[in-house]
Amino acid sequence: MTRFALTLEFDGTPFFGLQRQSHGPSVQQSVEDALHRITGEAVVMHSAGRTDAGVHALAMRSHVDIEKLFDPFRLMAALNAQLRPEPISVTHCEVVPDDWHARFSCTGRRYIYRIANRRAPLTLMRDKAWHVPQPLDADAMHRAAQALVGRHDFTTFRSVHCQAADPVKSLDLLDVEKVATEWGEEIHIHAAARSFLHHQVRSMVGCLKLVGAGTWPEARMAEALEARDRNALGLNAPPHGLYFVEATYPDSREEKQ
């Protein structure tokens, strides 16, 4: 039995999320079905994180155990061939130790949320960013975001369906920047932590949007956090602007993938 670490890039638009679902297509099901066609084995994929329906990934880390012998490069090529035309790409594949686990060995996760801040509707970037036509104050959003950095009870920013045992998390980074792109002006929100609660990033972004639009004063973010009450949440951002960017591991070699 050989354990392979995979790095996945995917467009989450047609999927009900990364994890296998009973009621619709998922990234996990697509990869596992492709592996079954290649190996004839019932392979189970484990990943560094879960994503909601419509959420994208630039470099999701996953692992699979396969009995047959495969060269990592050939396995990657075979997987990409079998996955076409689905919007999933394996960008890296390597053999890892048997005790390496994509989820439990992971020491950090990083996301980016993209807001397309322009008046014109989105065409090429449709379903790839949250379209907000009114101007947003990125500096005010960044200042408000700093109230959430650190170790806190994030109950306000947690889905009612979250299965985590503890709402206390340590948020390492929550930065907001204005970026000029070929599609127009964007607001990028960068979030990093060892782990996140269900909907935490989207909930934080939704409230930051209210600050940027002037609907909330900057101090309202700290007040919402201190309320520890989902009813204090102002807005949950839509999933299609969210991207899983990176999973980090103790081995520096993994962190470079």
Residue spans of the domains in the chain: they are: 2-105, 108-246
Interval 59-103: pLDDT, tens: 999 999 999 999 999 999 999 999 999 999 999 999 999 999 999
User: What's the pLDDT at 120?
Assistant: 95
The yes-or-no verdict on residue 24 having pLDDT over 80 is yes
Structure-token pair, residue 115? 């807001």
Catalytic residue among 52, 98, 172, 175: 52
53 φ/ψ angles, rounded to the nearest 5 degrees: -55, 130
pLDDT for residue 231: 94
Q: What is the pLDDT of residue 161?
A: 81
Domain 2-105 identical in fold to domain 108-246: yes
- Supply the pLDDT for residue 183: 83
Closest CA to 169 of 211, 249, 108: 108
108-246 is classed in which CATH architecture?
Answer: 2-Layer Sandwich (3.30)
Chain mean pLDDT for the chain? 94
- Residue 249 Cα distances to 46, 102, 105, angstroms: 15, 9, 6
Query: Is 52 an annotated catalytic residue?
Result: yes
pLDDT at 188: 98
Is the pLDDT at 255 greater than 80? The verdict is no
In the chain the first and final C-alpha atoms are separated, in Å, by 23
Both structure tokens of 37: 């066609």
| Residue 90 · residue 74 · CB < 8 Å | no
pTM: 0.93
- For 2-105, CATH number? 3.30.70.580
Angle at 179 between CA 174 and CA 184, to 5 degrees: 135
